[in-house]
């Protein structure tokens, strides 16, 4: 047997270097400094408070990564950096990248212990008990960065999730844990007769108010504060749970699904947006890695369509469909019988 190539092992060994180069460049504000104005390493170092030669190494690495261009000693953003790594861009993923940089990277450093003990690593990593949400809602800046991260990710995933099924018969959508309101905004744009409610903790709604207003949908999207584990759900014929169920244990998932079922009218539905594992749980890789991510930072996990179907049927939903969207999140629709 021929000796296998070591290329995959070498690539995996060095993978963190690529992400950390991007994260550091983002955290230093380089991409925003370069938006629309090329600059050399010296002027960028002056503007970012960094050492010029060290910054030049980082900038050259970003050229190699395909994030920056370099011409006659001047650096500029490539379009992908302008769109997704500048904080000011409407489609930015900067918030999610910073969340990955400042929290997930550190949590993943304790993956071995998470596997040994089967629990999240917040206490070990940051020295406090509590959930992901208690950490990222500690300060206004932390809350905004986390929610903006979810917003950018949602811009990529929500349109495909909403188009996975014919939702035109529903009149009112409530997005449970709806964050910045991006799914409700996308749904209202897709279905002009639809009304929506973003149901989330009060601090999250401060940011949702900005986006709903900018979208010109304040008259169609209501913002209502509440904790979906504690407070009654707003009335609706369609509930959405986008990147919510994977945060929680089976017991808490059952609680949320049963609560949604009992609040829905006959013929109502529940739309779940998550990464779906294949039934043998051996693929796809993004869902497998996300399930490990849930291990280090929550009490939840990614699931198969069969597992979601079982949970939805157990809650009382009589018809369950699942679709792979080709985007970052897949879609599951459960219907309550007449």
pLDDT tens-digit map of 273-314: 999 999 999 999 999 999 999 999 999 999 999 999 999 999
Does 299 map to a domain? Answer: yes
**pLDDT at 128 exceeding the cut of 90:** no
3-state secondary structure of 179: coil
Task: Let me know whether 259 and 166 are in one domain.
Answer: yes
pLDDT of residue 90: 86
Q: Specify the residue for token string 């399930």.
A: 291
Task: Let me know whether 80 and 199 are in one domain.
Answer: no
Confidence of residue 149 (pLDDT cuts 50, 70, 90): confident
Nearest of 276, 274, 244 to residue 257 by alpha carbon: 244
Does 31 map to a domain? Answer: yes
Task: Let me know whether 166 and 264 are in one domain.
Answer: yes
Does 103 map to a domain? Answer: no
Task: Let me know whether 57 and 163 are in one domain.
Answer: no
Q: Is 33 an active-site residue?
A: no
Task: Let me know whether 77 and 196 are in one domain.
Answer: no
In this structure, what CATH number is given to the domain that contains residue 57?
1.10.10.10
Mean pLDDT taken over the chain: 94
Provide the residue range defining the domain that includes 62: 7-84
Does 217 map to a domain? Answer: yes
Q: In the chain, which ranges are continuous DSSP H helix?
A: 7-27, 30-33, 41-48, 52-65, 79-84, 94-99, 105-108, 111-117, 122-126, 132-136, 140-163, 182-190, 202-214, 250-263, 285-297, 305-315
3-state secondary structure of 49: coil
Task: Let me know whether 229 and 322 are in one domain.
Answer: yes
How many domains does the chain fold into?
A: 2
Does 327 map to a domain? Answer: yes
pLDDT of residue 152: 85
Confidence of residue 37 (pLDDT cuts 50, 70, 90): very high
Give the mean pLDDT of 121-136.
Answer: 77
pLDDT tens-digit map of 156-201: 999 999 999 999 999 999 999 999 999 999 999 999 999 999 999 9
Task: Let me know whether 197 and 314 are in one domain.
Answer: yes
Query: Which of 55, 84, 113 is the last residue in one of the domains?
Result: 84
In this structure, what CATH number is given to the domain that contains residue 255?
3.40.50.150
pLDDT of residue 145: 75
Task: Let me know whether 202 and 315 are in one domain.
Answer: yes
Name every residue whose Cβ is closer than 8 Å to that of residue 29 and which is 6 or more positions away in sequence: 47, 48
Q: CA separation (Å) from 135 to 61, 113, 128, 163?
A: 32, 20, 9, 33
Instruction: Select which of 33, 110, 135, 246 is catalytic.
Output: 246
Task: Let me know whether 182 and 318 are in one domain.
Answer: yes
Task: Let me know whether 169 and 68 are in one domain.
Answer: no
Does 108 map to a domain? Answer: no
Give the mean pLDDT of 9-37.
Answer: 97
Does 21 map to a domain? Answer: yes
pLDDT of residue 12: 97
Query: Which of 29, 64, 84 is the last residue in one of the domains?
Result: 84
Task: Let me know whether 80 and 179 are in one domain.
Answer: no
Task: Let me know whether 307 and 161 are in one domain.
Answer: yes
Does 321 map to a domain? Answer: yes
Query: Which of 34, 60, 84 is the last residue in one of the domains?
Result: 84
**pLDDT at 119 exceeding the cut of 70:** yes
């Amino acid at each position: 047997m021929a000796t296998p190539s070591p290329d995959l092992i070498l690539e995996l060994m060095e993978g963190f270097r690529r992400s950390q180069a991007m994260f550091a460049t983002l955290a230093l504000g380089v991409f925003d400094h370069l938006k629309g104005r090329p600059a050399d390493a010296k002027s960028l170092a002056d503007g970012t408070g960094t050492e010029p030669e060290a910054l030049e190494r980082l900038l050259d690495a970003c050229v190699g990564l395909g994030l920056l261009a370099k011409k006659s000693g001047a650096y500029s953003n490539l379009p992908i950096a302008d769109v997704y790594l500048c904080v000011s861009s409407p489609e930015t993923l900067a918030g999610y990248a910073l969340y990955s940089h400042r929290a997930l990277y550190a949590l993943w450093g304790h993956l071995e212990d998470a596997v040994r003990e089967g629990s999240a690593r917040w206490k070990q990593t940051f020295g406090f008990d509590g959930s992901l949400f208690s950490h990222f809602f500690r300060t206004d800046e932390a809350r905004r960065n986390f929610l903006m991260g979810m917003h950018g990710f949602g811009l990529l995933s929500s349109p495909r999730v909403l188009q996975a099924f014919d939702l035109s018969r529903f009149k009112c959508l409530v997005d449970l844990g709806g964050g910045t309101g991006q799914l409700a905004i996308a749904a209202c744009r897709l279905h002009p007769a639809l009304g929506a409610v973003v149901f989330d903790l009060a601090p999250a709604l401060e940011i949702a108010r900005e986006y709903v207003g900018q979208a010109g949908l304040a008259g169609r999207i209501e913002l209502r504060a509440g904790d979906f584990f504690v407070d009654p759900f707003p009335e609706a014929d369609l509930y959405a749970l986008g990147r919510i169920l994977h945060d929680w244990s089976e017991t808490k998932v059952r609680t949320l699904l049963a609560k949604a079922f009992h609040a829905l009218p006959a013929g109502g539905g529940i739309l779940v947006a998550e990464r779906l594992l294949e039934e043998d749980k051996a693929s796809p890789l993004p869902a497998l890695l996300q399930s490990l991510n849930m291990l280090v930072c929550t009490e939840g996990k990614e699931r198969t369509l069969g597992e979601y179907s079982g949970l939805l049927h157990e809650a009382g939903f009589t018809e369950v469909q699942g679709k792979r969207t080709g985007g970052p999140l897949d879609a599951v629709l459960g219907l309550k019988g007449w």
